[in-house]
Chains A and B, each alone.
Chain A
Amino acid sequence: MPDNIHFRLNTASVEARVDAIQAAFEERGMKPAEFIDEFRELAEEKWLPENGARVCARAWTDPAFKARLLANGRDAVAELGLTMPAHHRHLVVLENSANLHNVIVCTLCSCTAFSIIGLPPDWYKDLEYRARVVRQSRTVLKEMGLELPALTEIRVWDTTADTRYMVLPMRPSGTEGWSEEKLAGLITKDMMIGVARIAGT
């Protein structure tokens, strides 16, 4: 395909293309450098999976909070000082049990509740996960290291609208009396996406 070869050979590098937009924004007084610094701080220090881990640990230790969380996730996380972008109008929390496993995906792009569970990892946005997990959920989870018992029901949640999802993992036994902070330390971003479970659950 001559056109395709032409396209590849003369295309500016992605970095040069980003520089071009940034410089054009700069010239138009949009102050991109300042915004990039602000964004970097949000991405590195605010939108962290520790937020969601704290939400899960609170749900494990406070049944009334858990009930509010399952009824209206957005309002409940706000009690812990956590916010979501205005266009994320709804947070649905999906509770795992011994016989039920939830996993989230965005087959059309890469949507997540990023201010709560952290920005999505590379593989979440990649073609393989988006194509396969809706159709081959058990196989894909097994390939990713999560082998579920044959009788466990799997629910896959495709984030096609601006309603966002997070998985509430099962609290493992033997953690009675643990502090919320210690419990939160058990929970990872992958567990809140639903491609991992806490050992023994």
Chain B
Amino acid sequence: MDGIHDMGGRQGFGRVRYALKAQTFHEPWEKRINALYSLAVKAGIFNMDEYRHAIERMEPRHYLSASYYERSLTSLATLCVEKGILTQEELERRAQGQFPLSMPSAPGRVNVPTRQTFKPGDKVRVRTDHVPGHVRMPGYIRGKAGVVVSESPKYPFPDAHAHGIHAEDEPTYDVRFNAGELWPNDADPAHVHVGVFQSYLERVS
């Protein structure tokens, strides 16, 4: 989905709020929620792709105003409700207030049937698919051309794995893009490397 989480290349943001030796956690509850979603993954309630997708499905105003760990909390609660482990009523009764959850999921998809294999040096283009469910293709590479630099081991296909659909594992290709082609006339010169699933790519002849 072309969600609010797809931040790469968006304009209008100010300086990174950087500090030397910055902390990962600021409040004790943040560590607890990180542990609780890890526990849910370990218990097999959901997988990491489902977890990421439930964050992406947060209502956009909520996503943007929530801290990182509030997003974790919202994803965990949403999935526990969707899987029938908890109900929103129980959560709101216990929390004594509203407990906002993410928006419902759109359907996922299986691997692209015409997917091709590539080798380092191949010129590729990112397909111009618009996917209603989970996808790990950042919008800034859609339709853009790059060069394959290497291949990873096979992973579960996130577009299916986030939706409980069976699909074949696929490799990701490390594809090198030129920032000047991703954002013509408006990017600092650089190469941008993205791990792109096989189903998202087609060969450029």
Contact = CB atoms under 8 A, between A and B. Distances in A.
Interface residues of A, number: 75
Given A131-B7, A190-B20, A159 B32 contact: no
Given A19-B95, A39-B38, 20 more contacts: A11-B98, A12-B98, A13-B95, A17-B77, A20-B90, A20-B99, A36-B31, A109-B52, A119-B24, A126-B16, A128-B13, A128-B14, A128-B17, A135-B188, A136-B188, A143-B18, A157-B193, A160-B138, A161-B155, A161-B172
A14 B73 CA distance: 8
Given A108-B7, A125-B68, A24 B86 contact: yes
A68 interface: no
Interface stretch (A50-58, A87-95, A172-180): A87-95
Interface range for B: 35 or more
Contacts of A133: 16
Contact of A123 (B16, B43, B86, B158): B16
B115 interface: no
B31 A39 contact: yes
A24 B8 contact: no
Given A12-B96, A43-B34, A127 B8 contact: no
B113 interface: no
Contacts of A18: 29, 32-33, 36, 73
B64 A127 contact: yes
Interface in B19-74: 19-27, 29, 31-36, 38-39, 42-43, 48, 52, 55-56, 61-62, 64, 67-70, 73
